[in-house]
Structure 1
């Protein structure tokens, strides 16, 4: 007797196939992912009060490529490194105070958006359907901006939070969403007939 539910338990999109790898490979992937996130954080366009970095491209990409569970774990590990003072955030920053400053809402959103894109990728919003992949990245970026603005508004008010914490990032969110969808499209391995 076959189990009809078992295919539903398997991710439908897993270009790295990390879920079926050994614990050692998965730990290595998490460490590699935190390194990539740290490097992406150093590529920045200075703005006040929040800089533009490649974090909002790489965070949802890690979720989509690693799967929602391992992707979320990777982003959480990176945030723990940041809280411990490792220089893994924008501009080589680190420390617990960043989780109470202007960027706190964005930082808190990162594991959530990694989980979101990973979960959606496993359900077909991935490189096999580039429009849905784009939409998943756009949703992730929108959620990040909303969560960041909510926190930022408690510090500087709603109007300033939208003006400085959302509006300057809208074009970047579109571009990063398109890049993320393109990377997912490139990651799809065509099955030979």
Structure 2
């Protein structure tokens, strides 16, 4: 085995080992992930135009725990449930209108940030290195805020988008990133 292959295997991170499980287990994981996302979306601090929710903790966490492919697929499945009208989005809402309103940019960023943290976790930015895990969550939260603000700025202007769609979420992004890293650290098997 080459040194590069050994390093890749050592850095590989899949506490749930979903990539090696049956299709039925993977489908069950997607269903469970969408349920967790739906439940944590209900925990919110109402704000206008964008509420504070646990989504920006759980979305990257699903990516990191499930792997980039299954993590992104899980988040896409949850978004499809929301688009179909199921009450799985923040505040128990659903429907296509939420994908054109103020929160659309954040929603569309979610599969991307799940894939990002999953991809980084598979490359060593995981629970084996809490600082890198924290950095991966911080990158995911920053990307979510940037993409969300870009969309929001098309509706209310860039200054208001930063003031109402980024600034209030910065402290929460730090806290959620630390919590995500701690959860990944706790998931590492001895």
Match in the other structure for 1:25: 25
> Which of structure 1's runs of 4+ aligned residues deviate more than 3 A?
2-11
Separation in 2 of the partners of 1:189 and 1:6? 21
Cα deviation 1:18-55 (Å, max 9, x = unaligned): 00000000000000000000011000001110000000
Deviation at 1:3, TM superposition (A): 8.9
Whether the 8 Å contact between 2:11 and 2:124 is mirrored in structure 1 is no
Pairwise CA RMSD of aligned residues? Answer: 1.6
Deviation at 1:151, TM superposition (A): 0.2
Match in the other structure for 1:144: 144
Match in the other structure for 1:69: 69
Q: Name the count of aligned residue pairs.
A: 189
Deviation at 1:77, TM superposition (A): 0.3
Question: What SS class does the counterpart of residue 137 from structure 1 fall into?
Answer: helix
Separation in 2 of the partners of 1:178 and 1:5? 30
Equivalent residues in 2 for 1:99-118, closer than 5 Å: 99-118=99-118
Match in the other structure for 1:119: 119
Deviation at 1:5, TM superposition (A): 7.9
Question: What SS class does the counterpart of residue 69 from structure 2 fall into?
Answer: helix
- What TM-score do you get using the length of structure 1 for normalisation? 0.94
Separation in 1 of the partners of 2:83 and 2:157? 26
Match in the other structure for 2:169: 169
Match in the other structure for 1:159: 159
Separation in 2 of the partners of 1:104 and 1:36? 20
Match in the other structure for 1:88: 88
Separation in 2 of the partners of 1:145 and 1:64? 19
Structure 1 gap segments, 5+ residues each: none
- What TM-score do you get using the length of structure 2 for normalisation? 0.96
Deviation at 1:114, TM superposition (A): 0.1
Cα deviation 1:58-113 (Å, max 9, x = unaligned): 00000000000000000000000000000000000100111100000000000000
